[in-house]
């Protein structure tokens, strides 16, 4: 069972409520809340007095993964959430940025070798764009 919803992104909207796992043979994904809107989730939580992660009270809208660019953006509120997350998980941030640097270097070399467009000339520009949710930019 997975907790994705169509409302969260275009890619998630294209998925089905029940579908075979792409990389795990013989496994099926079931997304029971795929068609729910965010307000329906909160209505259900309130109706049944269900517990929920306190991160939502801190302004997070999505908490499935740390440092996800889908949760950030250029707004001051989004950047404040990013800074809180970086302060809360400093060791994770360090490792994440190290891995991202390796990926960026390989991806940039691959793109240049194929003559493809490179959206960011250096890692710092890429990282800043990542932490702003890639608003208005591609990879």
DSSP 4-23: --GGG-HHHHHS-SEEE-SS
Question: Residue ranges per domain, the chain?
Answer: 1-52, 60-139
pLDDT in tens, 67-77: 877 777 888 88
pLDDT in tens, 72-125: 788 888 888 889 889 989 999 999 999 999 999 999 999 999 999 888 889 999
Separation between Cα atoms, residue 32 and residue 35, nearest integer Å: 8
What token pair was written down for 124?
Answer: 């710092």
* 103 SS3 class: helix
Closest CA to 77 of 125, 132, 138, 38: 132
């Amino acid at each position: 069972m997975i907790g994705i919803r169509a409302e969260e992104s275009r890619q998630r909207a294209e998925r089905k409520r029940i579908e075979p796992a792409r990389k795990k043979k013989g496994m099926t994904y079931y997304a029971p809340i795929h068609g729910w809107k965010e307000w329906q989730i909160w209505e259900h939580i309130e109706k049944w007095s269900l517990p929920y992660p306190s991160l939502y009270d801190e302004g997070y809208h999505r908490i499935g993964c740390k440092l996800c660019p889908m949760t950030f953006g250029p707004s001051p509120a989004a950047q404040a959430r990013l800074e809180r997350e970086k302060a809360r998980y400093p060791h994770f941030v360090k490792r994440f940025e190290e891995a991202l640097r390796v990926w960026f270097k390989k991806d940039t070399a691959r793109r240049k070798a194929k003559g493809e467009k490179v959206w960011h000339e250096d890692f710092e520009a890429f990282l800043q764009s990542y932490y702003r949710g890639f608003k208005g930019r591609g990879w």
